[in-house]
Amino acid sequence: VTRSAPAAALRPNQQRLLAVLGRHDRLRRSELALLLDLPKATVAGLVDDLLARGLVIENTPESGSGAGRPARSVSLAGRPPAAGVLVWSTDLLRVAVASLTGRILAERTVPMAPQEEIDGLLDPGLRLLRAAARDADLRIGDLATVVLGVPTPFQRGVGMPVPASPPGGRGHYVGWLRADPATELSKRAGTQATVENDANLGALGEYTFGAGQGLDSLVYLKLGNRSMGAGLIINGRLHRGVTGFAGELAHIQVHNDGVLCVCGGRGCLIHDVGPGLARLVEPAYDGPISFDQMLDLAEQGDPGLRRILGDLGRTIGRPLADLCSMLNPAAIVVDGVLGPAGGYIIEGIREAVTRHAAPTAADAVRILPGTLGAHADLLGAVALARDDQHLPVF
Ligand SMILES: [Zn+2]
């Protein structure tokens, strides 16, 4: 966080103050005192010293509505730290530059099929990130870190924790994710890099900035046209599991002797959804239906769609009910990208949870739509970047 003075010369409380300022555009001394839990006089002293060192600046006072002298807020003197984000979610690549306060400064989205080689993702990804950084008046090397989200289970330093070649497995995992691409990404971006599962990012996003704020625990359900996964927040922390496989809802067994799956198991839930949500609802209509058309039909309150998505909610809700009995979470947060379609799925999940979970757990769990829409995983990457930068959480 420090820019022009050596960090060693700063007292711990000054470093904490700079870290807090790194997450807010501007704060008054009284707000800093509250966030740092320090007396106002102490904060005033810390700020005076940092002003003298040129590490923070005083902003021109906003015209106050109350009586007396308007309080002047302070900001970091340098550019506030920003993160680069690449989230690959089955058929889309979203690229963004965001401040660590959770403001998206620039964003690009392109279609992205699974790529056989790492370059197939990183070449266009870094090109878009460079363009997004330019839009935000930054260079890629200015970014504090770059986070890559991937639509597969993922273990840091290892890659995908799944068998190399399940016999006859149905599904598709890209081979280059059998190693952690963070080193290659870091080398090419010229800054620190981290790779994380996309549903975990969504969970972190809704927990930090969205529907899950202030909750102790939640299950985030990621559900796109061709993606299904879950992220678990337990005691305020992301739970990845011992090999990064936690929350792989798609690979819960729902048919004892169902089709073999790419995960090495068989009869996995994901095969009930098959080639995508839109294809699942298609038989009820005359012609092919795209994902966006499906969302439109939901918006119009289409009864057939309500029935099909309600059934899907009940199917997904069955294993979620067991999870509720086991974990007793405060909430299940459903991917906000689905809009009204998500509402029908939530109705089905609620039914299944009420029916199959232990009543105490079922009564306690709130089932909520995400409030961040398509930005949940981008903002989750920002939350992860904060952790990786060891910025204290206030
Ligand atoms: Zn599976």
- Distance between CA atoms of 75 and 213, rounded to whole angstroms? 25
Spacing, Cα 269 to ligand 1 middle (Å): 7
Angstrom CA distances, 99 to 78, 96, 104, 116, stand at 13, 10, 6, 32
Spacing, Cα 263 to ligand 1 middle (Å): 4
Q: Where are the alpha helices (DSSP H) in 250-302?
A: 270-273, 277-281, 291-299
**67-123: pLDDT as tens digits:** 666 788 998 887 667 999 999 987 899 999 998 888 999 999 999 988 889 999 999
Q: How far apart are the first and last CA of the chain?
A: 16
Spacing, Cα 68 to ligand 1 middle (Å): 65
Spacing, Cα 21 to ligand 1 middle (Å): 44
Spacing, Cα 262 to ligand 1 middle (Å): 6
> In a 10 Å sphere around its CB, with 0-12 CB exposed, 13-18 middle and 19+ buried, how is residue 285 labelled?
middle
Most confident of 193-207, 214-228, 268-282: 193-207
How many CA atoms does the CB half-sphere of 26 hold within 13 Å? 11
Element (H, E) at 66: none
What DSSP letter does each residue of 3-16 carry, written as one string? Answer: -SS-GGGS-HHHHH
Spacing, Cα 250 to ligand 1 middle (Å): 7
**343-381: pLDDT as tens digits:** 999 999 999 999 999 999 999 999 999 999 999 999 999
- Distance between CA atoms of 101 and 81, rounded to whole angstroms? 9
What DSSP letter does each residue of 128-188 carry, written as one string? Answer: HHHHHHHHTT--GGG-SEEEEEESS--BTTTB--S-S--TT-BS---GGGGS-THHHHHHH
Mean pLDDT score across all residues of the chain: 88
Spacing, Cα 120 to ligand 1 middle (Å): 25
Spacing, Cα 200 to ligand 1 middle (Å): 18
**Percent helix, strand and coil across the chain, each to the nearest 5:** 45, 20, 35
Spacing, Cα 223 to ligand 1 middle (Å): 16
pLDDT beyond 90 at 280: no
* pLDDT band at residue 155 under the 50/70/90 scheme: very high
CA 169, chain centre distance (Å): 29
Spacing, Cα 122 to ligand 1 middle (Å): 27
Spacing, Cα 164 to ligand 1 middle (Å): 13
Spacing, Cα 231 to ligand 1 middle (Å): 16
Instruction: Tell me if 72 sits within 8 A of 58, measured CB to CB.
Output: yes
Q: Give the closest residue to 338 by CA, choosing from 346, 330, 350, 349.
A: 346
**247-275: pLDDT as tens digits:** 999 999 999 999 888 888 899 998 888 77
- Distance between CA atoms of 199 and 100, rounded to whole angstroms? 20
Spacing, Cα 266 to ligand 1 middle (Å): 6
Instruction: Name which of 11-15, 176-180, 250-254 the model is least confident about.
Output: 11-15
What DSSP letter does each residue of 371-394 carry, written as one string? Answer: SSGGGHHHHHHHHHHHHHTTPPP-
Phi and psi dihedrals of 245, rounded to 5? -100, -5
pTM to 2 decimal places? 0.82
Q: What percent of the chain has pLDDT over 70?
A: 90
State the residue for tokens 């981008």.
378
Which residues does residue 110 pair with via DSSP β-bridges, in sequence order? 93
From the CA atom positions of the chain, what is the Rg in Å? 23
Spacing, Cα 230 to ligand 1 middle (Å): 14
Spacing, Cα 174 to ligand 1 middle (Å): 15
**188-202: pLDDT as tens digits:** 999 999 999 999 999
Spacing, Cα 253 to ligand 1 middle (Å): 8
* pLDDT, position 7: 44
Spacing, Cα 249 to ligand 1 middle (Å): 9
- Distance between CA atoms of 307 and 344, rounded to whole angstroms? 8
Spacing, Cα 238 to ligand 1 middle (Å): 22
